[in-house]
Amino acid sequence: MRPVTLVDDLAYAVSLPTPPRRVVSLVPSITEALATSCPERLVGATDWCTHPEGMAVRRVRGTKNPDLKAVAALGPDLVVANKEENRELDVRRMREAGLAVWVTDIETVPGALDSLGRLFGEVLEVGTPAWLAAARDEWAGPVPEPSREVAVAIWRDPWMAVGRDTFTGDVVARLGWRNVLADHADRYPHVELADLDRAGLVVLLPDEPYVFTAHDGPEAFAHARTALVSGRLLTWYGPSLVGARKALTDAVDA
């Protein structure tokens, strides 16, 4: 394998053998993408990497507290991380230990598709996976004018929701919905329930990170309409983007 130096999403120069043969993923979305496209290269993943089901890879604890000794013990050619989901401290420690770490930075659907395209095309050298091509087709085109107002709750007690500059917010916008907290100063603001519970608003209640269910979440709202949705379809980037547009629209229109 010939060594090359490539620049990741944060403009960090990463020296690695190409193509990497042993990859550890610390990002659930990217784990799914790797396991779907080149499963033979995936040797480690976090406990939160739940898709596809039945992955037989070494678990290295969580996204925020990875077992760095376990990661190193796997002898990876490449560790894949994400600016939002993983800690800079862990990335720095892995690099100091001599590991090649590729950090992604994803805040929009096009940004996700471009980032994954680089990862699979330039870094892993496996070309464009079929799901990536399908996702590009499904999510192509300009952001439409919003047809309804929504909020995306991510936690309760205290209530939190999706604010500005997030991947989820971009998904919502591309579905033709206006996130009423899109201009909030925080990316994931704490909010009062009364700010969400108002007529004319649809509050999306995903099953992650907080597990909203039919009996835990909707009962708190007297005025807003609620919709239980898949958190994976709202927050993951990768194969989950294929079919997500229709599934999310159907859930909200039901």
Tens of pLDDT, residue by residue over 75-123, are 999 999 999 999 999 999 999 999 999 999 999 999 999 999 999 999 9
What value does the mean pLDDT of the chain take? 96
Cis geometry, peptide bond prior to residue 158 (ω within 30 degrees of 0): yes
pTM of the model: 0.93
Q: What percent of the chain has pLDDT over 70?
A: 99
What are the residue ranges of helices labelled H in 22-129?
A: 28-37, 68-73, 88-96, 109-118
Taking the CA atoms of 147, 151, 154 and 156 in sequence, report the sign of the dihedral they define.
negative
Q: Is the pLDDT of residue 2 over 90?
A: no
Q: Taking residues 209-231, report their average pLDDT.
A: 97
Least confident of 11-20, 37-46, 145-154: 11-20
Q: What is the mean pLDDT of residues 217-222?
A: 98
If you average pLDDT over residues 4-12, what whole number do you get? 95
Q: Which residues, 6 or more positions from 183, have their beta carbon under 8 angstroms from its beta carbon?
A: 164
Q: Residue 154 belongs to what H/E stretch?
A: strand 148-155
183-204 pLDDT, tens digit each: 999 999 999 999 999 999 999 9
Q: Is the pLDDT of residue 3 over 90?
A: no
- pLDDT tens per residue, range 142-176: 999 999 999 999 999 999 999 999 999 999 999 99
β-sheet bridge partners, residue 44: 24, 58
Statement: residue 254 has pLDDT above 90: no
* pLDDT for res 18: 77
pLDDT band at 221 (very low <50, low <70, confident <90, very high): very high
Is residue 125 very low, low, confident or very high in pLDDT (cuts 50, 70, 90)?
very high
- Check if the beta carbon of residue 30 is closer than 8 Å to that of residue 14: no
User: How far, CA to CA in Å, does 254 sit from each of 82, 226, 247?
Assistant: 34, 10, 11
Give the pLDDT score at 1: 59
Residue 204, amino acid: L
Give the domains, in start order, of the chain with CATH numbers: 2-138 (3.40.50.1980), 148-253 (3.40.50.1980)
Percent of the chain with pLDDT over 90: 95
pLDDT in tens, 238-251: 999 999 999 999 99
pLDDT beyond 80 at 58: yes
